[in-house]
Structure 1
């Protein structure tokens, strides 16, 4: 009597056919969207749940092809959510799928996407017995935790992992220490660089202010020198008023500013009126015979 095939046979058989189509579309035809559709149809045909070993292998292969097709279309942001819709929780991800996701998000410089997912997978006791656990732990440290500067979390993960032997634990702790020291050196090298970038700007600003002040003082000195031969004729209060107006025009206002021009003109007119008043014939000394 012919034995009946297992109940899981039709699902994997259909999924395997879809997997073959997806591979052809990905590699030969470069039709990435169609390849993703075949992968989705294959995963849907397998249904939820862990199922038989052949179920897991076909499903993992479908997800690997789908991840590559999504990456080829520059839709890498959808990869993690796309995978989790078939595995539901990070702890159930196959090692190959987790490895591919870590490498993908590290390559696009978004390692923080895999921070919680990788930590949940590595924290599962069921996954710690897998032969790929050690290599995935090192990959997670090198591509996720250390580039993000999570040195404390990395040390805690290594020290609290019972699946690591003492030699491998010491080696990983040494790698974490070296990365921490390298990170500190980069900070020290970057900090003086920022200060050096600020110094030329400050020097330029001080140079401009010094040149401007020197120009103003030179103009004031020339003006006072040209008026020095008339100062003995001025009463004290009127000379003080003229000097104050000159100070406002030359020192307190910026002649290069367009908004100051109307006000400067008014001050110049007031200065001329005051100057005409103090030099009027009434205050001029009598001319001797």
Structure 2
């Protein structure tokens, strides 16, 4: 990276800068930021240079002159760097920290912000900012006012369905002649008709989805009711069958099941004493059977 020059470095813009000389540090940081953005693709470093350049200019750069143009160029490079880093949500707040209010935004920066948020399909972010800028009396005298109003109309108001506000804005604007006003009003009318057709199609699609959903739910509910009826019939038949069995047989069967499952289960701790007694009884019977019979002696 080259060292900071002692004098003001020339800007790369082809347009000459008017007014007092540009501060040397801000001009040099603008060149550094542009190189980092375009040549080196180091967006974080480019944003850092832009912030340093805007801080070096201070609030005095809001006035007309070369300092204001350098500040605007630094913000343009910073917006591009933020967009390249996918940090476009921070663009508006980042710019307003140097211009404080939307009315003081340069036309180039306002145009870039409208295009950026329109491209990412978030035009509502620029709704209040653009309206505040266009209502400002000082901005109405700028040569870019008409083009920015048309851009705000096409990229912000119409995509958001603000047709009444767009029509009022066009009719109350003095920079358009009658032909331009008629063309814009026609565009607003066509956009409103297209919006209405889309709303009708969307509502029709929702109604069809609701009908399909209700039909599916109705079929499922009918199947569920059928299954519940069959289950109820099965329970009734089973209960009537159990009523025919004598209670003594049922108790005997339950006791036998208890003996087989619980008392004769080797894995059950409660079955161990019972098994020990069975084994001991078996050994006694086997000893009695296998041992020789001894008769007692009979005395005369």
> Which TM-score applies when normalising by structure 1?
0.71
Query: How far apart in 2 are the matches of 1:83 and 1:216?
Result: 66
Query: Could you tell me which residue of structure 1 aligns to residue 154 of structure 2?
Result: 142
Deviations 1:213-261 (A, max 9, x none): 67788x7xxxxxxxxxxxxxxxxxxxxxxxxxxxx923xxxx8xxxxxx
- Name which of 249, 271, 278 aligns with 2:232: 249
Query: How far apart in 2 are the matches of 1:211 and 1:35?
Result: 66
Residue pair 2:76, 2:109 contacting (<8 A) in 1 also = yes
Map 1:181-192 to 2 at 5 A: 181-192=193-204
Residue pair 2:20, 2:65 contacting (<8 A) in 1 also = no
Deviations 1:173-205 (A, max 9, x none): 111111111110001111221222233333333
- Name which of 44, 57, 63 aligns with 1:33: 44
Map 1:1-289 to 2 at 5 A: 8-9=20-21, 11=23, 13-49=24-60, 50-210=62-222, 249-250=232-233, 264=235, 267-268=236-237, 270-272=239-241
Query: How far apart in 2 are the matches of 1:197 and 1:180?
Result: 26
Deviations 1:65-105 (A, max 9, x none): 01000111111111111111111111111111000000111
Deviations 1:261-286 (A, max 9, x none): xxx4xx55543366789xxxxxxxxx
| 1:10, distance to aligned residue in structure 2 (A) | 5.5
User: Structure 1: 5+ residue runs without aligned partners?
Assistant: 1-5, 220-247, 256-263, 278-289
Query: How far apart in 1 are the matches of 2:155 and 2:207?
Result: 31
Deviations 1:9-58 (A, max 9, x none): 362x3211111110000011111111111111111121213234211211
Query: How far apart in 2 are the matches of 1:178 and 1:33?
Result: 43
Query: How far apart in 1 are the matches of 2:190 and 2:57?
Result: 46
The count of aligned residue pairs is 228
The RMSD of aligned alpha carbons is 2.6
Where 2:59 maps in the other structure, the secondary structure is coil
Q: Which has the larger radius of gyration?
A: 2
Residue pair 1:115, 1:144 contacting (<8 A) in 2 also = yes
Where 1:67 maps in the other structure, the secondary structure is helix
Judged with a 3 Å threshold, the aligned counterparts in structure 2 of structure 1 residues 152 and 216 are, in CA distance, closer, same or farther, namely same
Residue pair 2:124, 2:156 contacting (<8 A) in 1 also = yes
Residue pair 1:8, 1:52 contacting (<8 A) in 2 also = no
Query: How far apart in 2 are the matches of 1:43 and 1:8?
Result: 17
Query: How far apart in 1 are the matches of 2:64 and 2:195?
Result: 46
